[in-house]
Structure 1
Amino acid sequence: MASLNDDECTPLLQPSHTGDVVESQQQNKNRWWSIRVMYLTLFLSSVGFSIVMTSIWPYLQKIDASAGTSFLGWVIASFSLGQMLSSPLFGFWSNHRPRREPLVVSISIMIAGSVLYAYVHVPASHNKYYMLIARALVGFGSGNVAVVRSYVAGATSLSERTGAMANVCAFQALGFILGPAFQACFTFIGEQGVIFQAIYLQVNMYTAPALMGALFGIVNIILVFAVFREHTVDDLGKPTPSINSDTDDSDRDSEEAVDQVAVVSSNIIFFVILFCFAVFETIATPLTMDMYAWSRSTAVFYNGVILAVVGLESLIVFIGVKILSKKVDERVLLLGGLVIIWVGYFILLPWGTEFPKIQWTDLQNNTIHHFSLWDSLTTALSNHTVEPTGCPASQSWCFYTPVIHLAQYLTSDILIGVGYPTSNVMSFTLYSKIIGPKPQGVYMGWLTASGSIARTLGPVFVIQTYTHLGPQWTFSLTCAIVAVSIVLLFAVYKKLIAFPIRNRRV
C-alpha cells in the first residue's frame, strides 16, 4: 500500500494527502468529494465549448441560409466572449458568497443556452441570431471555470496542489478534446433524426450533442446540492475558515505581497498555450479536407477519432506529470511543454514536391479572389449530388504549397497531445501558488478570461491566415508566438515561485 505522503503517485481521481493535514478521515473524504464535483463541473464547461465545434457551420447553414462566413466567426467567438465577461464576475462572487450560488446560476445558464441551441431551427426568421445568443449563453455560464479553479486552489495544501491541478487540467482538456468525439458519434443519427412534434423538437446530429450537454448540466446541479461543501485549508493542509466567510482577514498578507509581474507573465503564457490549442482544434477539419481530399463527413469523423485518441494520450500525460513534478521543477516542466508544442507546429510546415489535389468546382465567373475557405465549404454543403473534395482553387496557395503528409499531421497531433497538457497544468499550478493564501476568485477569473481571449483570437487568426496565406505562414507564425512565450518564461523564471517560499522563505 502506498504511503500517505505519496500523493502525486495516486491515480488520477484519487485525493492527495500530506502527513501535516490535521483533519478527520471523514473531513478529508468530504473535502475530496467536493473537489471531484468541481472536476466534473469543469469537464462539462469544456464539453459545452467543443461538442458542437465541428458541426456549427453546417447547422448554421441548415437553419439560416443567409448566414455568411463573417457571422460564423461571431458565432464561434460568442462562447469565448461570454466566458471572458463572466469569469471575473463569477470569480468576484465566489470570493464574497458561498460558491454554490455562482455554480448553480452559471450551470443553469449553460443549460438554458444548450436547450435554446436545440430549438434555433423553430423560429420563422433570424435563426442565426438565436444561435448566436445560445452560444453566448453557454459561454457565459462556462465562466464558472474561475470558481472551480479558485475552490480547488483553496481546498488543497501546497503539497497537494500540483496533483489536484493536474486533475483539473485533465478534466478540462478531456472536455475540449472529447467534445468532437461525442459529436462524431452523433453523426450516425443523421441530419433528419427524430422529430417530436408535440414539443417542436428535432433530435438530430446537430441538436443531440447540445441536449446531452443540458442533461449533464442537470446532473451537475444535483451533485452541487447533494455533495459539494465548502472546504478550505492552509498551505500546510490544516482546515481554515472559508476565504469567502465573514471571518477576520487582518492576519493575511497584504495584496501588495503578490508578485504582480509573475501574475501578468503567467497570464500571458497561459494565453499562448490556449491560443495554440484553439489553432490546433480549429485547423483540423479544413486542413485534412484540403490536404487529403477528405469529404466533410469523413473529416468530421476521423478528426473526432484522432482527437479522442489525443484525449487518452493527454490523460496518460497528466498522470505522468503528477509523478514527475515530485522530482522535476514545475518551471522546467512548463518550459518542456512549450518546447514540445513548438516542435509540434514546426513539423507541420509543408515541404517536398507533392502538391494537394485541386478542387475546381468553386470557380464561378472567374471571381476566384472573392472566395474563401468557408465559401468553399458552403458550396460543398449546397451540392446535393457529389460533394467536391480537395484544396479549393479559390485558395491560390493550393497551387504552389506542398502537401502536408499524413505522417506529419499525426506526428504533430501526438506532440501537441503531450506538450499542451504538460504546459497547461504547470502554468496555472504555478499561478495558484504564486497568488498564495489570497482569495483567488478574481485572479482565476482573469486567468480564465485570458484563456477565453485566446480561444476567441485563435480561430480568427487561423481562419484568416490559413485561407489567404496558407499553412506555411499559419504554422510559422504560430511557432513564432510560442518562441516569444519561451523567451518570456526565461525572463521571469526566478519570479515563478510559490507565495510562501518567496515571502516566508519556507
Structure 2
Amino acid sequence: MASLNDDECTPLLQPSNTGDVVESPQQNKSRWWSIRVMYLTMFLSSVGFSIVMTSIWPYLQKIDASADTSFLGWVIASFSLGQMLASLFFGFWSNHRPRREPLVVSISIMIAASVLYAYVHVPTSHNKYYMLISRALVGFGSGNVAVVRSYVAGATSLSERTSAMANVSAFQALGFILGPAFQACFTLIGEQGVIFQAIYLQVNMYTAPALMGALLGIINIILVFAVFREHTVDDLGKKIPSINSDTDDSNQDSEEAVDQVAVISSNILFFVILFCFALFETIATPLTMDMYAWSRSKAVFYNGVILAAIGFESMIVFIVVKILSKKVEERVLLLGGLVIIWVGFFILLPWGTEFPKIQWTDFQNNTIHNSSLWDSFTTAPSNHTVEPTGCPASQSWCFYTPVIHLAQYLTSDILIGVGYPTCNVMSYTLYSKIIGPKPQGVYMGWLTAAGSIARTLGPVFVSQIYTHLGPRWTFSLTCAIVAVSILLLVSVYKRLIAFSVKYGRV
C-alpha cells in the first residue's frame, strides 16, 4: 500500500502521498482512475472555451459585417453566462444524484453546441446571434466544472487535496495550451477550407476547432460510462458512503458551521482572478490588431502561439506550486499570485511618444480636425482589396494613446502566466478546505458561478471600456480592482483556514 502511494506522489498528474488510507488497493485504484476522468472532463471544458478564442473575432467579422467589438464582448461573455447558470444547476444535481447523470447531460450539450458553432455561417442573416447562442450553450455544458471540483474535493483526503486540485487546474491549463495551439495549426486550412455541400458544412480554420471539440466530447462520454465510479473519503482519507448514494449520509453532516465570511471572501477573490484573466483573453486579439497592425490571420496565429506558451508556462507553475505548497501556506501563495497579476497589468499601461497606425479607410467620409493626421492618411494608397489593418479611426483614443510596445505585451503575458495559475489553484484548494466535510456540490457551484460571472462581465467590461476609452483606462481600472482584492485578502487572511484545522480535527 505504501509503495502504491509513493508511486502516485511524484509526477505532476499523479496524486500525492495519502498516508494511512483505509481502503483496499482495488478501491484506491478505482478512486484515482475516476479522479483522472474528472481531470479529462476539466480539460475538455477548458478546450471548449479556448480552442476558438483567438479566432472568434475574425470569424465573427467574416460571417456578419454588422458585428463590432462590443458584440464580441457579449459573444465571449455568453459562454460564461451559460456556465454560471449551469454550474448552480449541475452542482445541486450532483449533491443528490449520481454524478454520471449531470456529467453526461452537460457533455452532450457541449457536443451539440460545438456542431452548431460550425454551422453559424449558413443562415443568410443574423449570423452573429447564432454564434452567441452556440457559445452560450457551450458554456452551459461547461457548467460541469462544479461537478468535477466537488467530486475531486470529496474523493481526496486533506493531505491529497492541494495536489489533486493542482492537477485539476493543470488539466485546465493544458486545455488552454492545446486549444489555441490547435487553432494555430488549423490556420493552415485557411478561411476557405473544404466544403461538404451535401451537409452544408465548411471545414475551415474557424469551424475545424469546434468540430474537434465535439469529437473529444464523445470520447469523454465513453470514459464516463466505462471508467468513472463514485468514491468519497473524509479529511483523513477514510472511505465513507457517497453523498449521492442511497445510504444514510448523516455522518457527513457537521455540527460546526462553515465560516461564511471566508466562503464569501473566497468567492469574491476568485471572481477578481477570473475577471482579470477573462479580460486579458478577450483583449489579446483586438489589442494586437490595433497596436501592431496585424491582419486577422496573423492575430489568430500569433496569439494562439502566445496563449499556448502561457499555458506551458502555467504547467511549470503548477509543478512549482505543488512543491511550494508543502513548505509555504496556500494563503501566502494566493497573495503572491495577486501581486504578480497586478504588476502584469501595470506594465501594460501605454507610455512614450509612438502612436499606433490608423486604418486610413475609416476616414473617407468623416471630418478630421487634426490637419497633420489628415495629411498623413489622405496620402495612403486606396486599395480596398487589401484587408485594412491598424487602429480603427472610429476609436478616437487611437489618435492620442501611445502604442503598447510588444516587449510590454510579452512581459505582461509572462507575469500573468505566473500569477493566474497560482491564484487559481490556491483559490480552489483553500475553498474546498474551508468548506470541510459537508457536501460541496452547491458550494462549488457558487464558486464556479462567481468565476462565470467574472467571465461574463470581464469581456463586456473590456469591450466597452477598451472601445470607448482605450487601453490606458482599461488597464488602470484593472489594476485598481486587483489592488482592492489584495486588501480584502489581507483583511480576511486569518479566517482562510481548513475546516478540520479550525475545529481541531486535524
Whole-angstrom CA distance in 1 between matches of 2:412 and 2:123:
43
Paired residues of 2:341 and 2:419 also in contact (CA < 8 A)? yes
Shift of 1:6: 6.5
- Measured at CA, do residues 255 and 283 of structure 1 come closer, stay the same or move farther in structure 2, by a change above 3 Å? farther
How far does the alpha carbon of each residue in 1:26-72 deviate from its partner, in whole angstroms, 9 at most, with x for none? 22121111111101101111111121122223323433445455543
Paired residues of 1:8 and 1:163 also in contact (CA < 8 A)? no
- Measured at CA, do residues 296 and 319 of structure 1 come closer, stay the same or move farther in structure 2, by a change above 3 Å? same
Q: Name structure 1 gaps, 5 residues minimum.
A: 370-382
Paired residues of 2:254 and 2:437 also in contact (CA < 8 A)? no
Q: Does 1:228 align with 2:236?
A: no
Shift of 1:368: 7.8
Structure 2 match to 1:98 = 98
Paired residues of 1:60 and 1:128 also in contact (CA < 8 A)? yes
Structure 2 match to 1:128 = 128
- Measured at CA, do residues 142 and 121 of structure 1 come closer, stay the same or move farther in structure 2, by a change above 3 Å? same
Structure 1 match to 2:372 = none
Structure 2 match to 1:421 = 421
How far does the alpha carbon of each residue in 1:60-99 deviate from its partner, in whole angstroms, 9 at most, with x for none? 3433445455543332222111111110110011001110
> In the TM superposition, what are the counterparts of 1:122-271 in structure 2 within 5 Å?
122-254=122-254, 257-271=257-271
How far does the alpha carbon of each residue in 1:90-132 deviate from its partner, in whole angstroms, 9 at most, with x for none? 0011001110010001000100101111122333444333322
Q: Does 1:431 align with 2:393?
A: no
- Measured at CA, do residues 396 and 364 of structure 1 come closer, stay the same or move farther in structure 2, by a change above 3 Å? same
- Measured at CA, do residues 126 and 461 of structure 1 come closer, stay the same or move farther in structure 2, by a change above 3 Å? closer
Paired residues of 1:9 and 1:322 also in contact (CA < 8 A)? no
Whole-angstrom CA distance in 1 between matches of 2:472 and 2:8:
41
- Measured at CA, do residues 124 and 412 of structure 1 come closer, stay the same or move farther in structure 2, by a change above 3 Å? closer
Whole-angstrom CA distance in 1 between matches of 2:217 and 2:384:
37
Please identify, of 84-93 and 462-471, the stretch whose mean Cα deviation from structure 2 is larger: 462-471
- Measured at CA, do residues 389 and 67 of structure 1 come closer, stay the same or move farther in structure 2, by a change above 3 Å? closer
The one-letter code matched in structure 2 to 1:279 is L
Please identify, of 358-367 and 26-35, the stretch whose mean Cα deviation from structure 2 is larger: 358-367
Shift of 1:447: 0.6
Whole-angstrom CA distance in 2 between matches of 1:350 and 1:291:
11
Whole-angstrom CA distance in 2 between matches of 1:191 and 1:473:
34
Across the two proteins, how many residue pairs are aligned to each other? 492
How far does the alpha carbon of each residue in 1:405-441 deviate from its partner, in whole angstroms, 9 at most, with x for none? 2111111111100000001100110000000111100
The one-letter code matched in structure 1 to 2:164 is A
Q: Give the TM-score taking structure 2 as reference length.
A: 0.93
How far does the alpha carbon of each residue in 1:371-422 deviate from its partner, in whole angstroms, 9 at most, with x for none? xxxxxxxxxxxx8622222223332222222222211111111110000000
Shift of 1:7: 8.8
Q: Name structure 2 gaps, 5 residues minimum.
A: 370-382
Whole-angstrom CA distance in 2 between matches of 1:319 and 1:293:
37
> In the TM superposition, what are the counterparts of 1:274-289 in structure 2 within 5 Å?
274-289=274-289
Paired residues of 1:7 and 1:163 also in contact (CA < 8 A)? no
- Measured at CA, do residues 302 and 368 of structure 1 come closer, stay the same or move farther in structure 2, by a change above 3 Å? farther
Shift of 1:165: 0.3
Structure 2 match to 1:10 = 10
Say which SS state the counterpart of residue 361 (structure 1) adopts.
Answer: helix
Structure 1 match to 2:29 = 29
Structure 2 match to 1:375 = none
Structure 2 match to 1:378 = none
CA RMSD of aligned residues (A): 2.1
- Measured at CA, do residues 391 and 121 of structure 1 come closer, stay the same or move farther in structure 2, by a change above 3 Å? closer
Shift of 1:355: 2.4
Shift of 1:22: 1.6
Shift of 1:135: 1.5
Say which SS state the counterpart of residue 252 (structure 2) adopts.
Answer: coil
Paired residues of 2:242 and 2:249 also in contact (CA < 8 A)? no
Structure 2 match to 1:72 = 72
Structure 1 match to 2:114 = 114
The one-letter code matched in structure 2 to 1:428 is Y
The one-letter code matched in structure 1 to 2:293 is A
The one-letter code matched in structure 1 to 2:198 is A
Say which SS state the counterpart of residue 18 (structure 1) adopts.
Answer: coil
Whole-angstrom CA distance in 2 between matches of 1:434 and 1:86:
23
Please identify, of 74-83 and 243-252, the stretch whose mean Cα deviation from structure 2 is larger: 243-252
Shift of 1:15: 2.0
Paired residues of 2:348 and 2:408 also in contact (CA < 8 A)? yes
Structure 1 match to 2:42 = 42
Paired residues of 1:88 and 1:442 also in contact (CA < 8 A)? yes
Whole-angstrom CA distance in 2 between matches of 1:487 and 1:163:
27
Paired residues of 2:48 and 2:138 also in contact (CA < 8 A)? yes
Whole-angstrom CA distance in 1 between matches of 2:308 and 2:72:
25
Paired residues of 1:285 and 1:300 also in contact (CA < 8 A)? yes
The one-letter code matched in structure 2 to 1:94 is S
Structure 2 match to 1:317 = 317
The one-letter code matched in structure 2 to 1:207 is T
Please identify, of 99-108 and 186-195, the stretch whose mean Cα deviation from structure 2 is larger: 186-195
> In the TM superposition, what are the counterparts of 1:358-377 in structure 2 within 5 Å?
358-366=358-366
The one-letter code matched in structure 2 to 1:249 is D
Paired residues of 2:74 and 2:460 also in contact (CA < 8 A)? no
Whole-angstrom CA distance in 2 between matches of 1:154 and 1:57:
39
How far does the alpha carbon of each residue in 1:117-174 deviate from its partner, in whole angstroms, 9 at most, with x for none? 1122333444333322221211111100000000000000000000000011111233
How far does the alpha carbon of each residue in 1:311-341 deviate from its partner, in whole angstroms, 9 at most, with x for none? 1110000011001000001000000000000
Q: Does 1:51 align with 2:51?
A: yes
Whole-angstrom CA distance in 2 between matches of 1:28 and 1:4:
9
- Measured at CA, do residues 5 and 327 of structure 1 come closer, stay the same or move farther in structure 2, by a change above 3 Å? farther
Say which SS state the counterpart of residue 13 (structure 1) adopts.
Answer: coil
How far does the alpha carbon of each residue in 1:334-379 deviate from its partner, in whole angstroms, 9 at most, with x for none? 000000000111111122222222332212421689xxxxxxxxxx
Whole-angstrom CA distance in 2 between matches of 1:211 and 1:408:
35
How far does the alpha carbon of each residue in 1:222-273 deviate from its partner, in whole angstroms, 9 at most, with x for none? 0101111111111111111112222323333447611111000000000000
Shift of 1:467: 1.8
The one-letter code matched in structure 2 to 1:43 is F
- Measured at CA, do residues 497 and 5 of structure 1 come closer, stay the same or move farther in structure 2, by a change above 3 Å? farther
Please identify, of 179-188 and 488-497, the stretch whose mean Cα deviation from structure 2 is larger: 179-188
Paired residues of 2:347 and 2:412 also in contact (CA < 8 A)? yes
Q: Does 1:400 align with 2:400?
A: yes
Q: Does 1:483 align with 2:479?
A: no
- Measured at CA, do residues 311 and 111 of structure 1 come closer, stay the same or move farther in structure 2, by a change above 3 Å? same
Whole-angstrom CA distance in 1 between matches of 2:270 and 2:442:
16
Say which SS state the counterpart of residue 251 (structure 1) adopts.
Answer: helix
